[in-house]
Structure 1
């Protein structure tokens, strides 16, 4: 059996702190949290948007220069793309898509469009841009033609020397 009198301090014999004898207050992990010192005023949070808006010093192709942080990040990302990192390639494609670089381009081709003879050239081009290739709905053409004639009348009032008539096809 163990002698418990060696473990517990008595009134006539004080507890001695030493090797394998920690202080009683902290002996079983019951420790008070450390006292916090008041550091005065708190530091203001940095303005991240302002930091990211200023150019940073970089070295590109052996020359020192300044780049926008986003552009510098894209240079680094492209370097990883060239090395063949799959994750970098995916991220680069996302950035290109976000910038609109991957949008399908409309093919430029030469073609002949037969326009109705009773529509002025400028009006036919306008309808072509907004409604697509003919044949057009007669109500659509009539509404555009009425608006076109009203515009010509307004121009005649502003510029009296303009002798353009709605029947002149501009050809």
Structure 2
């Protein structure tokens, strides 16, 4: 029985390690806990750059809903007029290229008779994909001071429903890191 339980725990840890979401707690103010605050609101959006393609602009609203859900589950009320805590969101969608490298091997073929032929190691593009990164800053409104920051990143799935599932998973994991 203990052996079976051990394998179940190892399997669950392995599955959790294979999550497509990467969570990075950036830091927090010494002694910060979320219980110190009673209400929150989002800081005003400022879209000075084109870091979010138009196709993903609707996902920012979904991201806010997920953050609101996590904060309300922790006992904070949404109060846009006089919040104790302000939430600042930074979002970026970046197009990446996956490559593979051709490399030299000990058993690489040798060619004779062709003077200009050479064996070269190079990066070969395989596919392109989009990576989404969201940075969340929690700011004490009264002191205008950053009290906690974290970041989530993930490869974005192609379907909108899958993107929303990924966002929900990422925000849930991120807020488990908030003291």
Q: State the TM bucket, normalised to the shorter chain.
A: under 0.3
TM-score (normalizing by structure 2): 0.19
Between Structure 1 and Structure 2, whose CA radius of gyration is higher?
A: 1
Structure scoring higher RCO (CA < 8 A, sep ≥ 6) equals: 2
Higher helix share: 1
Q: Report the structure, 1 or 2, having the larger strand content.
A: 2
